[in-house]
Structure 1
């Protein structure tokens, strides 16, 4: 079986979210208006990851962003715990 055609578990967990509706709500409420790095889609993916993996702190979550699979899923290469706390 070809690996590139299969969704990762993480993508499967995120797939029930209605993406067009999510994008419309983000635009309507201007949730990305002052954003420099952490957009709502990436934030939701990080939040889902933290919940599923029972991440204990923002520092542990910022360290987890260095995992290659999570970088691909969220589109983030790095983020500090202080940025997550804002």
Structure 2
């Protein structure tokens, strides 16, 4: 098995989630209707990241977004 993979472990945690099913649910329940930056897929990634790293508040999550790796993984620059 090759030790060099293109996907990070963070990205691999999201592969079991069906993107088409998630998109259907988002459209059905209008989850991205009033959002400008923080869409549901990015929010889920931030939620998992915060849970895994035991981050206590949204302010602390916002401060961790200065990490380039996290910005790439979540497709966000800020949550404000």
Question: Once the 2 structures are TM-superposed, how far is the Cα of residue 12 of structure 1 from its aligned partner?
Answer: 0.8
Q: Does 1:11 align with 2:11?
A: yes
Q: Does 1:38 align with 2:38?
A: yes
Question: Once the 2 structures are TM-superposed, how far is the Cα of residue 40 of structure 1 from its aligned partner?
Answer: 0.4
Please tell me the root mean square deviation across aligned C-alpha atoms, in Å.
1.6
Gaps of 5+ in 1: 81-86
Question: Once the 2 structures are TM-superposed, how far is the Cα of residue 76 of structure 1 from its aligned partner?
Answer: 0.6
Q: TM-score, normalised by structure 1?
A: 0.83
Alignment of structure 1 residues 16-31 onto 2, 5 Å: 16-31=16-31
Question: Once the 2 structures are TM-superposed, how far is the Cα of residue 17 of structure 1 from its aligned partner?
Answer: 0.9
Q: Does 1:48 align with 2:48?
A: yes
Count of residue correspondences: 79
Over residues 3-61 of structure 1, what are the superposed CA-to-partner deviations in whole Å (9 max), with x where a residue is unaligned?
6x510011011111111100100011100011111000100010010111111111110
Gaps of 5+ in 2: none
Q: TM-score, normalised by structure 2?
A: 0.88
Q: Does 1:61 align with 2:61?
A: yes
